[in-house]
């Protein structure tokens, strides 16, 4: 009697592929955790020096987002020399590397008893007034400074918030990053399908924190950011206007380039219930307002902005024409 040859079952191959991907994700997670463990043992000055050396190496050898970074800097600083733009690029990579170190250091060094050694606040009355209010609030910032430590510090001060963020592809790294973000009171929501939960959170008087400089595609709300047309998500303004929540533009920047020395600032507040200047008249006006505030914060330390971020895209012809007329 012939022995039947087992047939290949596609779903078994798919299961093996998923298992292989899971093993690869876990291996990547272990490598990252090992690197973080080493970083946590480093003194601040040594970590800063290593970040500076790594930034120089990336600029000289690495093609990481080279074209995107150069294009962004060319648009925003058209009158700067090539050497000046390269200096900003190198300083940006140093800031990014240092940000990773600071996230690792914050878990071990930044506590409720010693926060004043590392963080100072600007316009603290505005921050406290909105944190302690029973009204909802929408806090917007950008890919600038160390926004992760900014959220961690806000939670440390008792200002709990809900943050919208995209899940990382690696589930092990995603869970670890989520634990850091939620360690002091932040609640994380996946950006896909979160509108109902956000509305409920704001209706209950909660605080929503959002990175406001994400590209929203050709159908977004177009306005100028740092003098260049950018597409913004309409939902950010709608969250504030629909709930009557004040919109707070803020930023956490590194002071004088020193590691673990931050200033968390409330740049400005736009309140739909107290709006003499008309910033909250429409989605367009409020979107224009918070982009102007974020631009003000970036101008204080241009090297701490993520110039590798694909923030600016080519607007549709009719939008480009409208923005040119408005300028």
- 201-246 tens-digit pLDDT: 898 888 899 999 999 999 999 999 999 999 999 999 999 999 999 9
Average pLDDT estimate for 80-86: 94
For the beta sheet containing 119-122, the strands, ordered from the edge strand earlier in sequence to the opposite edge, are 119-122, 262-270, 247-254, 137-141, 207-211, 162-165, 187-190
CA separation for the pair 238, 287 (Å, rounded): 10
The pLDDT tens digits for 31-63 are 989 998 999 999 999 999 999 999 999 888 877
Give me 315's structure tokens.
Answer: 């607007």
Assess whether pLDDT exceeds 70 at residue 6. no
Select the more confidently predicted residue: 191 or 151: 151
DSSP 48-114: HHHHHHHHHHHHHH--TTHHHHHHHHHHH-TTS-HHHHHHHHHHHHHHHHHHHHHHHHHHHH--TTT
Assess whether pLDDT exceeds 80 at residue 325. no
Assess whether pLDDT exceeds 80 at residue 283. yes
Long-range interactions of 28-32: CB distance < 8 A, separation 24+: 28/170, 28/172, 28/173, 29/170, 29/172, 29/173, 29/176, 32/173, 32/176
Look at the chain and count its residues: 327
Burial (CB count <10 Å: 0-12, 13-18, 19+), residue 123: middle
| Residue 175 CB partners (closer than 8 Å, separation 6+) | none
CA separation for the pair 247, 232 (Å, rounded): 15
Long-range interactions of 43-48: CB distance < 8 A, separation 24+: 44/105, 44/259, 44/260, 45/259, 47/98, 47/101, 47/105, 47/259, 48/98, 48/101, 48/258, 48/259
Assess whether pLDDT exceeds 70 at residue 9. no
- pLDDT score, position 126: 81
- The residue whose two tokens read 């926060």 is 115
Q: Count of CB atoms within 10 A of residue 164's CB?
A: 22
Average pLDDT estimate for 182-206: 81
- The residue whose two tokens read 């930034």 is 55
Helical H runs in 133-194? 147-156, 171-182
Question: CB-side exposure of 273: number of CA atoms within 13 Å?
Answer: 8
Query: Rounded mean pLDDT of the chain?
Result: 88
Assess whether pLDDT exceeds 80 at residue 74. yes
Global pTM? Answer: 0.88
Kindly state the helix (H) or strand (E) to which residue 120 belongs, with its residue range: strand 119-122
Assess whether pLDDT exceeds 50 at residue 8. no
Assess whether pLDDT exceeds 60 at residue 301. yes
């Amino acid at each position: 009697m012939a022995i039947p040859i087992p047939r290949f079952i596609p779903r078994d191959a798919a299961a093996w592929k998923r298992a292989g991907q899971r093993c690869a994700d876990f291996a990547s997670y272990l490598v990252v955790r090992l690197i973080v463990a080493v970083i946590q043992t480093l003194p601040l000055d040594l970590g800063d020096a290593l970040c500076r050396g790594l930034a120089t190496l990336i600029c000289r050898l690495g093609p990481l987002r080279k074209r995107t970074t150069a294009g962004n800097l060319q648009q925003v600083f058209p009158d700067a020399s090539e050497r000046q733009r390269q200096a900003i690029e190198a300083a940006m990579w140093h800031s990014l590397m240092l940000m990773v170190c600071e996230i690792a250091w914050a878990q071990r060094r930044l506590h409720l008893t010693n926060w004043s050694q590392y963080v100072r606040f600007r316009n603290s009355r505005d921050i406290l007034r909105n944190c302690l209010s029973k009204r909802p609030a929408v806090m917007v910032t950008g890919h600038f400074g160390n926004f992760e430590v900014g959220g961690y510090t806000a939670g440390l001060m008792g200002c709990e918030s809900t943050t919208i963020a995209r899940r990382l592809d690696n589930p092990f790294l995603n869970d670890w990053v989520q634990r850091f973000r939620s360690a002091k009171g932040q609640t994380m929501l996946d950006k896909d399908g979160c509108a109902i939960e956000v509305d409920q959170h704001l209706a209950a008087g909660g605080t929503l924190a959002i990175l406001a400089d994400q590209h929203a595609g050709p159908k977004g709300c177009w306005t100028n950011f740092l003098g260049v047309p950018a597409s913004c998500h309409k939902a950010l303004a709608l969250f504030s206007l629909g709930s009557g929540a004040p919109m707070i533009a803020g930023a956490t920047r590194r002071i004088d380039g020193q590691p673990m020395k931050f200033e968390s600032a409330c740049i400005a507040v736009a309140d739909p219930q107290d709006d003499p200047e008309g910033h909250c008249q429409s989605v367009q006006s409020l979107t224009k307002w918070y982009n102007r505030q974020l631009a003000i914060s970036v101008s204080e330390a241009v090297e701490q902005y993520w110039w590798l971020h694909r923030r600016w895209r080519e607007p549709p012809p009719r939008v480009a024409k409208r923005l040119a007329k408005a300028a």
